[in-house]
Homo-oligomer: A and B are copies of this chain.
Amino acid sequence: MLIDHLSIIGVGLIGGSLARALRKAKLVNRVTGCNRNEDTLKKAVELDVIDDYSLDIAEAVAGADVVVIGTPLSTTEKILPQIVASLKPNAVLTDVGSAKGSVVSAAQKVMGDKFSRFVPGHPIAGTEQSGVEASFAELFVDHRVILTPLEVTDISAHKLITEMWQAVGADVIDLDVKHHDDVLAATSHLPHMLAYALVDCLAGMQEREEIFKYAAGGFADFTRIASSSPEMWHDICFSNRDALLNSLELFSEHISKIKDAIENSDSEQLLSIFKRAKRARDQFTNIQKTV
């Protein structure tokens, strides 16, 4: 048994899938869930995702050996003090937020000497679906989980969370907090902004109906992420504000270059951008194949 008593605060796609996977592998004795919405918790019991639940954070946390925070980032910062107050000695706390700087500094402020038992985490997994109904035990198989432990982070706590994610099939990597946020701004947060902006732009066009009717496969792939949870992405934007704004700025420069090349009939410039991008994308495909 890896974990005797696990508590999941925020039983959604990620928290629910983690609970399912650990239960399936018989690596956890008891899973307690906590959520704002009792219907979700009843559903989670029904789906055999959790054993029991409490609507009260303190109650849900008390007695747990590992507490996983699966709430949107803005909620995480709000409920951290309550969670921390109820953690039993030696309990390990971790989260699954897509930005790490904001939650690390919030935890640093409220956790005092318990801060060493906090292991910030980010599973790079998910679908455009959300909610416990969409959760499944195999979500993390062959996906990366990035942990961003600090110098003060307890080695055994870090080890336990690493083993927990490895046990559900993930490939666990450690990254520096800032590095994580810069890389994720570029590879995930920026593309989501582009997809949201594109779909919003097309939906406002006169030809809206034909646009959606005649869109090809590439468009479906390209915009799938615009179906992601608006609330979650709202939180990510503000939690990773600076890195995301930098990425947006850089991207705008690149799209301007393309626009200028078309406007100025600059064949050479346009072709060199496309060729450079294709080379990089093909290289990315090769990296993905070899890891």
A190 to chain B, nearest CB (A): 7
Check if B213 sits within 8 Å of A291, measured CB to CB.
yes
A276 with B212: in contact, given A194-B194, A222-B222, A262-B244 (CB under 8 Å)?
no
Check if A203 sits within 8 Å of B277, measured CB to CB.
yes
A202 with B186: in contact, given A179-B210, A248-B255 (CB under 8 Å)?
yes
Chain B, Cβ-Cβ closest to A262: B237
A263: chain B residues within 8 A (beta carbon): 245
Tell whether A227 is near chain B: CB-to-CB under 8 Å: yes
Q: Among A9-17, A151-159, A282-290, which stretch is in contact with chain B?
A: A282-290
Other-chain residue from B205, B248, B271 in contact with A234 (beta carbon distance below 8 A): B271
Each complex incorporates copies of this chain amounting to 2
CA distance A224 to B223 in the complex (A): 12
A5: chain B residues within 8 A (beta carbon): none
A125: chain B residues within 8 A (beta carbon): 216
A residues 107-125 near B (Cβ < 8 Å) are 124-125
CB within 8 Å of B: which residues of A? 124-125, 143-144, 146, 173, 175, 179, 182-184, 186-188, 190-203, 205, 207, 210-216, 218-231, 233-234, 237-238, 241, 244-245, 247-255, 257-259, 262-263, 265, 267, 270-271, 273-278, 280-285, 287-288, 291
